[in-house]
Amino acid sequence: MALLDTLVTTAAGALAATIGVLVGGIVAHRAQDRQWLRDKQLIAYQELISHYAKFTMTISRAHAGRQGWDYDWSEWSATLTRASLVAPAAVAAEIDNFGKAIGAFLDQVARDPARDPLHNPLSQEEFTQASRAPAQAQVQLVNAIRRSLSKDQKALPFSIGGSLAGNPDHP
């Protein structure tokens, strides 16, 4: 009987240890997957906001300086796609809204041949007005990103980067 008790106790201990190792492995794997995804999200979001700031400043300078400009729009499109691929649904929806606001902005400041920065540039006021919707969409996107990364993040009431950053008239 003592031998049977010893075998049962040993088998139960071995089974518990095996289950513990398996559960620990699953939990660790999930944590690594979450960390990998978070790292990819941060890189994609940083790249997206960086492109936005770069091209809005490039276009703004072109209009202010009555000069030509060029931008790699294929990279902007790829950046939108990469960010959407790793974003949770709420952030992906805001990325889509942001992309639409940028499209409308570009229609006003970059695609309209009548508003060529060399021959008929936008005034600073016109450019600022055209930039308002993308700046608002950027704030919504940044706040969705912040919420997705941590529930402790407070919403920002202002835009960072882009053509309206530092503008005293823009909150």
Pairwise CA distance, residues 8 & 3, whole Å: 9
Q: For the whole prediction, is pTM greater than 0.75?
A: yes
Average pLDDT over residues 157-168: 62
User: Across the chain, what does the average pLDDT equal?
Assistant: 87
Instruction: Dump pLDDT digits (tens) for 50-105.
Output: 999 999 999 999 999 999 999 989 999 999 999 999 999 999 999 999 999 999 99
Asked whether the beta carbons of 41 and 9 are under 8 A apart, the reply is: no
Dihedral of the CA atoms 127, 132, 137, 139 (nearest 10)?
110
